[in-house]
Amino acid sequence: MRVKLHSLRKFLWIALLLSAAFAAWAWFRPYAWNPAPAARCKVVGVQVTQDQSFFWVEAHLRVNPGMTHDLEKPVSLVAAGRLLEPADTTFGSTNGQGTTDIWLKFWLQREDTAGPLTLNINDGKLSIKANEGIPPQSKYYISNHW
């Protein structure tokens, strides 16, 4: 019986270590690999909320350290071949450092969410959604594969 108990204990330790490694990888992985440096931002996460037959898509961006967001350049979301302007924009800062976070909210039709979504900001493009398919009713995404 002692041999079986020792093997079980060893198996549980290995399973615990693998679970912790997966949790760390899921927590620290970027939203999208290789964001365009010209965008001067990276996507932190995206909140999708269904409103009747439409969707609110709110992207949370973090401005890269040492960079600034150019307020004079237009921001748009490319969805199903259409350019959409944000319905709402919120800026955040930390301890007087200037703009460190940007939240952009877009109002999309159901068919707009079926394909990839690309955000045009500053002089670059950021992938908001890379997959095909309509998202579930309401969810917060930490990866562009939804």
How far is it, in rounded angstroms, from Cα 6 to Cα 1? 9
Q: Which CATH architecture has domain 37-141?
A: Sandwich (2.60)
Quick: pLDDT tens for 11-32.
Answer: 999 999 999 998 887 767 778 8
For 71-75, the CB contacts below 8 A with 24+ separation are 73/121, 73/122, 73/123, 74/120, 75/104, 75/119, 75/120, 75/121
Task: Give the up-direction half-sphere exposure of residue 29: CA atoms within 13 A in the CB hemisphere.
Answer: 14
SS3 24: helix
Quick: pLDDT tens for 60-117.
Answer: 999 999 899 999 999 999 998 999 999 999 999 888 778 899 999 999 998 998 899 9
